[in-house]
Amino acid sequence: MFVLPLLPPATLDFVSYSMLGWLGAGILPCLVHYWFRRRHRTTSWAAMALLLAAVEKQAMRTRIQQWLLMAVRTAILLFVALAAAQPVWREWTMGLAEGHVHCVLVVDQSYSMRCVREGTTRFARAQQKARQLVAKADTVTIIAWGAQAENLVGRPTSDRGLAESVVDRLSPGYTSSDLDVALRAVSSAIERADQEIPPGAIHRVFFLTDLGRNTWGAAPSEQVSLNALAQRAALTVIDVGDDQRENIAITDLSIDPVTVLRQREVAFTASLQNLGEQPRMGLRVEFFLDGVPINSQSVDLPAGGEQAVRFSHRFVDEGEATIEATIGPEADCLPADNNRYLVVSVRSKLRVACLVGSAGGVEDVVRALSFTEGAVETEVFPISRLQSLDLTAYDAALLARGTHLSPREQFQLSSFVSAGGAVAVLLGDASVSTEMLPVKIIAPVVAGEYRFDPLGYHHPIVQPFRGREKSGLLGVLISRYVRMEPAEHAETVLAFDSGDPALVVARHGLGRVAVLALPASLEEHEGAPWSSFAVSPSFLPVMRELVGYLVGDSRFDRHNLYLGQSAVSALAPLHGRQRYKMRLPTGQSTGLSAPGPEDRGQILFSGTQQVGVYAMHAGGQEFARFAVNLDASSSRSDSMLAAVAADKLPEGITTSAPAAEIQVAAGDFSWARILLATVVALLFVELTLAWFLGRGWA
């Protein structure tokens, strides 16, 4: 670094010192000149007196012209070398001059960065500030910071155009930002930069954030990471937040029951929460069915309070329907959580195929499901008809004891469940053998005297029995059952008081499978009945809830997602050159890659990055619809907009307001462009001079 003894006290620094070696090229014009002179030809000459007189008169002029040309050519080479070395004029900063500055820009993508004030989001302010910093830094690393932190440029880049385009492409997310992952990403970026940029470079880390409390309430481990990082880089927080604290959120929109049948009443419940510090009175909540308003209510929300808004509705038409609950985008500064969407599948009835073996054993189940006022239609088939049966016409299949399945039948059943169907297996002494079962049979029959254990009624199937202990579920006498061990991904709905599972459910593909460890009938084994379950008052509701859960919840969960979850659907047929497409909430469509054989007849879309309704199309025809909502569960107890005060930030970090002019390297002034402009000008001068002198000589 050259310290020039000139006023003002400053240093002339070069970004690339190695390029200064090319200054030696400045001697080239002199060498070329003298080389050409050395390569002169010799000739005898008679009119020497005339020539000498001419040379004497012309000598000074010629010499000046040659020196002038040589000086211009030398200057061109020197300036090119200097420009390549990127000279920077730096003012003193606290007595120390800074060298190469590597900026790490950590852009907060948390949900609260979507907060709008005067038409501009916090995130847009962060982007604007990031662009300013990009223009000042020598090299830049950009880290997108949300629940995960991602280095978007890899190695530090000096390409400002690239860095600015990366900043422009950033968008805020819907989650909180995790400070710990950001610190790890920054540390990794600095380690990488140390290998890429000149030794002695200065690292400056800028967190462009709104100082959300969810993010900056630093844990002790994060403080340790911060301290370590502060040893290697100057850490600065640029607070792009504001004083907006009021936020109303629709935190949930639910439907009961989830199995929606035409002309049957269903209840919708929207949960609202005031996450601000001021009460909101007379807040208007509106509900839309496929864009048509169907209900509107006013609610009062105290500060920090919650309120549920309910209404009932009967669907007239079959098919998929979208319910939207909204308080309008003007309700607060964070409009992203002012809407909630729900996609339901409306059917006229549920169709259940009961597949029985030689022993029968589904009569009681059929009888139980017939008491559903036509909501469930059951048909009984011998298991031998499975291969010729079109299971896609049914919502669920029940397999009774003794239904031994061939490999082809097992594949058929497995495909049915993978595509979204439901299967309930009622075990007996002749167990169903299929790899699809989420359990492992330990003992065929266990004898004794047992009762059901509802496991705290936590599962939706047995939840209706909570507080209704006399409804008969606990009074069922069980003398035999099949001992089974549930798979890891399976849920135990109901157990025996011996601790063994009685009813297990699990996902399989897009559908669900349930296994009951005893027959759903009064069958006997060695002269004694398995259980009194079939005659228990709890049998009918358990069967109804089981079928409803398997069919309804499976479909409901598949079509109502949280942000970031993948949308999966069974394939719809394509004709000709038709393609699968996904219509996004913005109205735009994006192509879906055609599924392969390994996708087992399913198509997947993993880009749910926006809240709203997505629709899968096959050749222009919608075949699946998805509601994607914000998972607001983490913000219910605290406002997403709550911020940490600047003076409460972890140690080792300084703050700056976005309006403040940040000096990346104080007083930096790059001469490179001026030098290059001078080179261009000198090239013109050289050409003109050479032409003019050449003309004069000619």
Partner 1 sequence: MHSAPLSLDPQTLSKLAGLQLRARYIVDGYLSGMHRSAHYGQSVEFTEHREYSQGDDLRYVDWKVYGKTDKVYLKRFEAETNLVCYLLVDVSESMSYQSEGVALSKSQYAHCLAAALASLVLRQRDSVSLMTFDQDVRELVRASGNPAHWHQLVEVLERSRLERKSSLGKVLHEISQRLRCPGLVVVFSDLLGDTDSLISGLKHLRHDRHELLVLHLLDPAEVEFPFEHATRFRGLERLSSVLTEPRGVRQAYLKELAQFVGRVEAACRSMQADYELLRSDESFGLSLERVLTKRRGGLRR
We find the least distance from the C-beta atom of residue 682 to partner 1, in angstroms, to be 22
Of 175, 115, 213, 147, give the one whose Cα is nearest residue 562: 175
| Contacts of residue 145, Cβ cutoff 8 Å, sequence gap at least 6 | 106, 107, 108, 109, 110, 177, 181, 182, 185, 207, 209
We find the least distance from the C-beta atom of residue 37 to partner 1, in angstroms, to be 5
Q: Does 412 bind partner 1 (CB under 8 A)?
A: no
State which H helix or E strand residue 260 sits in. strand 260-261
Choice from 47, 94, 528, 659 touching partner 1 (CB under 8 A): 47
Q: Which is nearer to partner 1, 50 or 447 (CB)?
A: 50
Choice from 1, 3, 32, 55 touching partner 1 (CB under 8 A): 55
Choices 133-141, 177-185, 396-404, 689-697; region in contact with partner 1 by CB under 8 A: 689-697
Restricting to residues 65-84, which ones interact with partner 1 according to CB under 8 A? 65-66
Q: Does 684 bind partner 1 (CB under 8 A)?
A: no
Choices 32-40, 452-460, 529-537, 635-643; region in contact with partner 1 by CB under 8 A: 32-40
Of 659, 635, 643, 661, give the one whose Cα is nearest residue 242: 643
Report whether the peptide linkage leading into residue 8 is cis, meaning its omega lies within 30 degrees of zero.
yes
Choices 23-31, 42-50, 360-368, 404-412; region in contact with partner 1 by CB under 8 A: 42-50
We find the least distance from the C-beta atom of residue 29 to partner 1, in angstroms, to be 15
Question: For residues 332 and 330, what is the distance between their CA atoms, to the nearest angstrom?
Answer: 5
Q: Does 64 bind partner 1 (CB under 8 A)?
A: no
Choice from 1, 3, 50, 267 touching partner 1 (CB under 8 A): 50
Q: Which is nearer to partner 1, 52 or 267 (CB)?
A: 52
Choice from 2, 6, 8, 41 touching partner 1 (CB under 8 A): 41
We find the least distance from the C-beta atom of residue 71 to partner 1, in angstroms, to be 17
We find the least distance from the C-beta atom of residue 46 to partner 1, in angstroms, to be 4
Choices 40-48, 286-294, 349-357, 426-434; region in contact with partner 1 by CB under 8 A: 40-48
Task: Report angle CA 359, 363, 364 to the nearest 5 degrees.
Answer: 120
Choice from 8, 40, 94, 528 touching partner 1 (CB under 8 A): 40
Structure tokens at 296: 């509107």
Report yes or no: 201 and 102 within 8 Å, Cβ to Cβ: yes
Q: Does 46 bind partner 1 (CB under 8 A)?
A: yes
Choices 60-68, 71-79, 206-214, 651-659; region in contact with partner 1 by CB under 8 A: 60-68
Q: Which is nearer to partner 1, 57 or 408 (CB)?
A: 57
Q: Does 52 bind partner 1 (CB under 8 A)?
A: yes
Q: Which is nearer to partner 1, 7 or 46 (CB)?
A: 46
We find the least distance from the C-beta atom of residue 93 to partner 1, in angstroms, to be 53
| Contacts of residue 216, Cβ cutoff 8 Å, sequence gap at least 6 | 179, 209, 643, 644, 649, 650
Question: For residues 208 and 270, what is the distance between their CA atoms, to the nearest angstrom?
Answer: 35
| Residue 679 three-state SS | helix
Question: For residues 538 and 541, what is the distance between their CA atoms, to the nearest angstrom?
Answer: 6
Question: For residues 276 and 246, what is the distance between their CA atoms, to the nearest angstrom?
Answer: 4
Structure tokens at 373: 């006022």
Q: If you compute the radius of gyration of the chain from its CA atoms, what whole number of angstroms results?
A: 38
We find the least distance from the C-beta atom of residue 78 to partner 1, in angstroms, to be 24
Of 589, 644, 585, 648, give the one whose Cα is nearest residue 620: 589
Q: Which is nearer to partner 1, 47 or 94 (CB)?
A: 47
We find the least distance from the C-beta atom of residue 74 to partner 1, in angstroms, to be 18
**Cross-strand partners of 503:** 494, 516
Burial (CB < 10 A; 0-12, 13-18, 19+), residue 328, is middle
Of 266, 293, 335, give the one whose Cα is nearest residue 556: 266
Q: Which is nearer to partner 1, 41 or 575 (CB)?
A: 41
State which H helix or E strand residue 82 sits in. helix 48-84
| Residue 115 three-state SS | coil
Q: Does 60 bind partner 1 (CB under 8 A)?
A: no
Q: Does 6 bind partner 1 (CB under 8 A)?
A: no
Q: Total residues contacting partner 1 (rule CB under 8 A)?
A: 29
Dihedral angle, C-alpha 530, 535, 539, 540, nearest 10 °: 150
Choices 45-53, 144-152, 196-204, 273-281; region in contact with partner 1 by CB under 8 A: 45-53
Structure tokens at 162: 């690239």
Choices 49-57, 68-76, 255-263, 387-395; region in contact with partner 1 by CB under 8 A: 49-57
Q: Does 187 bind partner 1 (CB under 8 A)?
A: no
Residue at 221: amino acid letter: S
Helices 48-84 and 28-38 cross at an angle (nearest 10°) of 150
Choices 43-51, 155-163, 457-465, 643-651; region in contact with partner 1 by CB under 8 A: 43-51
Report yes or no: 449 and 494 within 8 Å, Cβ to Cβ: no
We find the least distance from the C-beta atom of residue 692 to partner 1, in angstroms, to be 13
Helices 539-548 and 363-370 cross at an angle (nearest 10°) of 80
Question: For residues 207 and 107, what is the distance between their CA atoms, to the nearest angstrom?
Answer: 6
| Residue 343 three-state SS | strand
Choice from 6, 7, 49, 528 touching partner 1 (CB under 8 A): 49
Question: Which positions from 242 to 281 touch partner 1 by CB under 8 A, shown as an x/- string?
Answer: ----------------------------------------
We find the least distance from the C-beta atom of residue 56 to partner 1, in angstroms, to be 9
| Contacts of residue 601, Cβ cutoff 8 Å, sequence gap at least 6 | 415, 418, 419, 570, 571, 595
Q: Does 30 bind partner 1 (CB under 8 A)?
A: no
Choices 48-56, 179-187, 228-236, 255-263; region in contact with partner 1 by CB under 8 A: 48-56
Taken in order 531, 536, 540, 545, the sign of the CA dihedral is negative
Q: Which is nearer to partner 1, 42 or 388 (CB)?
A: 42
Taken in order 485, 491, 495, 499, the sign of the CA dihedral is positive
Place of tokens 């001068």: 685
Choices 56-64, 398-406, 649-657, 684-692; region in contact with partner 1 by CB under 8 A: 56-64
Choices 22-30, 36-44, 183-191, 241-249; region in contact with partner 1 by CB under 8 A: 36-44
Q: Does 62 bind partner 1 (CB under 8 A)?
A: yes
Q: Which is nearer to partner 1, 73 or 280 (CB)?
A: 73
| Residue 557 three-state SS | helix
We find the least distance from the C-beta atom of residue 75 to partner 1, in angstroms, to be 21
Q: Does 36 bind partner 1 (CB under 8 A)?
A: yes
Question: For residues 358 and 306, what is the distance between their CA atoms, to the nearest angstrom?
Answer: 56
| Cα 309 → chain centroid | 30
Q: Which is nearer to partner 1, 684 or 697 (CB)?
A: 697
We find the least distance from the C-beta atom of residue 49 to partner 1, in angstroms, to be 7
We find the least distance from the C-beta atom of residue 31 to partner 1, in angstroms, to be 15
Binding site for partner 1 (CB under 8 A): 36-37, 39-55, 57-58, 61-62, 65-66, 694, 696-698
